[in-house]
């Protein structure tokens, strides 16, 4: 892999910025899911991030994850805890997916990469929330786990009665659903918009810049 030219860097930055703007808009279009506590908001802002991971590389995806969460912080209802969690879990999804896809650009590899990313996001999300995020949330808001359980039970999810069941019956399915939805949408649209994401780079394939190839 050779060093990127100034033109390639400019295009990388521009496309990362455009996808980041799309991710910010989608992140603001968040909503609650049935049987999930209100502080856990669902959005599909990982769609442009995953597109970036496939087309521009994992570093672009990480940059967009950071930008969209910083942009969302001013309206955070969790004192930034949700944004930190979104960044960590989001990176756990798009980075593995992007790395695997770039090993071999094919439909089969794309499916495998998104499945691996979804699994990794679910595992990392469960561990991060169990050991870090929920305990931190409890400390910051001075809200005992019993209160969080009560909020969850009020949604109709009576399977939750402690931290472990909160992880198993809320956070695990939440991240699985998110990974599946985002992966399905990206699978439908990626090949259609891929030429736009690669337009400048495909002209320079002969330069041997393997990182920017389709």
Phi, psi of 147 (to 5 degrees): -70, -40
Q: Where are the domains of the chain?
A: 8-198
Compute CA distances 96 → 58, 74, 120, 160, whole Å.
8, 29, 8, 30
3-state secondary structure of 158: coil
- The pTM assigned to this predicted structure is 0.88
What class, spelled out in words, does domain 8-198 have in CATH? mainly alpha
pLDDT in tens, 40-76: 999 999 999 999 999 999 999 999 999 999 999 999 8
Q: Say how far apart CA 98 and CA 92 lie, in whole Å.
A: 10
What percent of the chain clears pLDDT 90, i.e. is strictly above it?
A: 77
What's residue 158's pLDDT? Answer: 96
For the CA atoms of the chain, what is the radius of gyration?
18
pLDDT at 208: 40
Contact in structure between 115 and 160 (CB atoms under 8 Å): no
Residue 2: pLDDT band with limits 50, 70, 90: low
| Burial (Cβ within 10 Å: 0-12, 13-18, ≥19) of residue 184 | exposed
The per-residue pLDDT for 200 is 64
Q: Please state which of the ranges 91-95, 108-112, 201-205 shows the lowest mean pLDDT.
A: 201-205
Q: Do residues 169 and 36 lie in contact, with contact meaning Cβ atoms separated by under 8 Å? A: no
Q: What is the pLDDT of residue 202?
A: 43
Distance CA 130, CA 135 (A): 7
Q: What is the pLDDT of residue 195?
A: 87
């Amino acid at each position: 892999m050779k060093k990127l030219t100034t033109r390639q860097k400019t295009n990388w930055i521009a496309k990362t910025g455009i996808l980041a703007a799309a991710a910010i808009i989608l992140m603001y279009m968040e909503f609650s899911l049935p049987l999930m506590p209100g502080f856990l908001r669902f959005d599909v802002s990982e769609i442009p991030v995953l597109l970036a991971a496939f087309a521009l590389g994992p570093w672009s995806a990480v940059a967009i994850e950071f930008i969209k969460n910083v942009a969302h912080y001013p309206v955070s209802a969790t004192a930034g805890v949700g944004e930190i969690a979104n960044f960590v879990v989001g990176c756990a999804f798009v980075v593995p997916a992007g790395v695997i896809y770039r090993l071999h650009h094919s439909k089969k590899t794309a499916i495998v990469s998104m499945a691996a990313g979804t699994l990794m996001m679910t595992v990392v999300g469960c561990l991060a929330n169990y050991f870090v995020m929920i305990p931190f949330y409890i400390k910051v808001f001075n809200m005992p786990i019993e209160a969080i359980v009560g909020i969850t039970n009020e949604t109709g999810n009576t399977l939750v009665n402690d931290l472990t069941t909160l992880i198993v019956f809320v956070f695990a399915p939440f991240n699985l659903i998110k990974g599946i939805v985002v992966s399905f949408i990206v699978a439908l649209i990626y090949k259609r918009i891929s030429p736009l994401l690669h337009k400048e780079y495909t002209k320079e394939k002969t330069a041997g810049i393997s990182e920017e190839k389709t």
